[in-house]
Each structure stands twice: as structure tokens, then as C-alpha cells.
A = this chain, B = another copy of it.
């Protein structure tokens, strides 16, 4: 079979646009705003963890798997600027799976649900040879609060929350979905475009640029590199930057705002979210290219090989 991406592309072509809801398939969540929901659209998203693909059962505490199964969906709803409401969980259970494991998995799900005051609307349990947990999460936003990927405009600044890279050392399980930060942004700042960083900064920035048909000038020195990325890179700064750009599963927010919005945000952010770093990593430009700079000087773009970056 082709890659998942190729299959998804074929499927997108297959589904008539009028059946894809308000914004079309391909953003972080689907949006419905027909009839009575016109002023208060509904959002629906889903994401899945599979044993052996997304985690090794014996290696990770079940609470953390449960937590992550919900958190990745919360991050998608956050990236749309919406408020999460309720979720359902589908579990595929091998015969040998212990009930205790499942109850601990749910401890993780419920602790996070409680924190964000969302409801568990039920679920489904089915037999399977390989464990999987699929969560579907419903959200809501006012129509003018929803932030898509396709609104970036030339001149916009690109902002990113937190720090990136090396999430495999633990943050991919324990990250806090940026619901409150995204809601603040969508209600009071209204970014032109927003996405959560799940595939890695480089790929997810690419998603914004492609959907918005714009390019960008990226300032390499401004990219927030996490301690975990530096640790993974054995202290080598160049390699750490590559981790920050490509590791993924950071679940931080990447968004674009006008210069005026940036000014407004710089005043309020530190007061609102004193513990969470906010970095300005570049600007949107016309055209469709990504340009790289270090300390404002042009530099060659990072080059990818099949195994990731070859050099930077």
C-alpha cells in the first residue's frame, strides 16, 4: 500500500466538497455550521494510538497512554481555536489485556478530562488482536473564533509557544494541550492561521504555508530549542536545532499574526501565561518558498535525506 498521506489525498479527492462540512477536510478538525449551528459551529476530530506503532505496552505506564489518547485530540481542537466539549473512546482489546491496565488507562483519560472540564459521552469496546485506543472529541466555537491553517498573510509574524524537539524523552506523553492559550489567542488576538505542532515545526509550518499559498522567512536563531533536544543532540547546537525542527509531537501552537496583533500579544502574553515561552520565529512572505536566516543573514535551507536532515 502507499503511504497514509497518499491514501488520505486520494480520499480527500473522493469526498465531494459539499459533504466535507464548513471548511473542508484537512485542517486539525472538521467544522459543521449548518442550520441552527451557523453562529456556534461544532467541531469534530479523532486520533488514535496503536500498540506497537505508537507505544510499547510494557514500557509506558497505562495512565500516560490514556492521557495521551485524549491530549492529542485536545491539541487538535485547541489548534482550531475552539473549546472542547465531550469525547468518546473506542478500545480494541486483545484477549490477554488485563482489566487493571484498562482501568489505569482510564485514570489517565479522566484526570485530563477533569482538568479541562469535558465530558465522557461513552464509547465502545471491541475484541482485537492488537490494542488500539481511538478517541473522538467534539468541540465548539463562535464562528469568528475558529482559526484555520489557510489564513496566513504576507507580512504576518510567526509565533510559537513553548520549546521544541526531543519530545521522545517524555514530553510526548506529558505535554499540556494548549487549550487555554489557544482560546485566549482565538478570542482576543485572532491569529490569521494556527496549527498544533505534531509532525514537527518544519512540516507543520509547511502545512500553513501550503494552505495559505504563501512563503516565509524563518529565523533559525529564534527557534525555541528544548532542553530535551539539546540532550538528545549531546549538546551540539546544530543537531539540537534539527531535533526542534523535525522531531514532532511537541503539541505546541504555531500561529501567524499581523504586526499590530503581535504588539498587542506581546503586552498581554507574559501577564496571562507567565510560565510559557512565546517566540517569534519569522515572517510570512509572498511566493511559496521558505527562506532561512541566521541572525538576519541568509543561510542555505536545511536539506532532507530519507533518514531526516543530512546537515544544517
Interface residues of A (CB under 8 A from B): 1-2, 4, 6-8, 10-11, 14-16, 19-21, 25-27, 29-32, 34, 36-37, 40, 42-48, 50, 52-54, 85-90, 92-93, 95-99, 102-103, 106-107, 110, 113-114, 119-130, 132, 134, 136, 138, 140
A19 to B124, CA, bound (A): 17
Copy number of this protein in the oligomer?
Answer: 2
CA A99 – CA B7 in complex, angstroms? 7
- Given contacts A42-B85, A138-B44, whether A21 and B121 have CB atoms under 8 Å apart is yes
* 17 CB < 8 A contacts A-B: A1-B95, A4-B126, A11-B106, A14-B103, A19-B120, A25-B121, A27-B122, A32-B121, A34-B85, A36-B140, A42-B138, A46-B88, A46-B136, A48-B92, A90-B90, A92-B132, A138-B138
Cβ–Cβ contact A88 & B136, under 8 A: yes
In the complex, A206 Cα to B125 Cα: how many Å?
A: 20
| Chain B positions within 8 Å of A44 at CB level | 86-88, 121-122, 136, 138
Please, how many angstroms separate the alpha-carbon atoms of A40 and B97 in the complex? 39
Which of B10, B20, B95, B125 is within 8 Å of A8, CB to CB? B125
Interface centre among A14, A88, A107, A140 (most CB of B within 10 A): A88
Query: Is B110's CB under 8 angstroms from A15's CB?
Result: yes
Set of chain B residues within 8 Å of A102, measured between Cβ atoms: 7, 11
Residue of B nearest to A22 (CB): B119
Given the interface pairs A14-B110, A30-B88, A138-B42, the reply to whether A7 lies near B125 with Cβ below 8 Å is yes
A298 to chain B, nearest CB (A): 38
Give the CA-CA distance A81 to B248 in the complex, in Å.
42
> Do most interface residues of chain A lie in helix, strand or loop, or is the interface mixed?
mixed
Tell me whether A92 and B50 are in contact (CB under 8 A): yes
Residues of B within 8 A of A127 (CB): 4, 50, 53
**A1 vs B21: C-alpha distance when bound (angstroms):** 41
Known: A32-B138, A88-B44, A128-B50. A1 touches B121 (CB 8 A): no
* Beta-carbon contact of B1 and A93 below 8 Å: yes
Are B120 and A15 in contact, CB atoms less than 8 angstroms apart? yes
Q: How many Å from the CB of A142 to the closest CB on chain B?
A: 10
**Cα–Cα, bound, A88→B25 (Å):** 10
Most chain B Cβ neighbours within 10 Å, of A40, A98, A125, A134: A134
Q: How far is the CA of A212 from the CA of B123 in the complex (A)?
A: 22
Bound together, the chains give a CA A103 to CA B13 distance in angstroms of 11
Cβ–Cβ contact B32 & A128, under 8 A: no
Do A21 and B86 have beta carbons less than 8 Å apart? yes
Q: Are A121 and B30 in contact (CB under 8 A)?
A: yes
A30, B126: Cβ atoms closer than 8 Å:
no
Q: How far is B134's CA from A92's CA once the two chains are assembled, in angstroms?
A: 10
Report the Cα distance A65→B4, complex, angstroms. Answer: 20
Residues of B contacting A47 in the complex (Cβ-Cβ under 8 angstroms): 90, 124
Q: Is the pair A46, B124 in contact by a Cβ cutoff of 8 Å?
A: yes
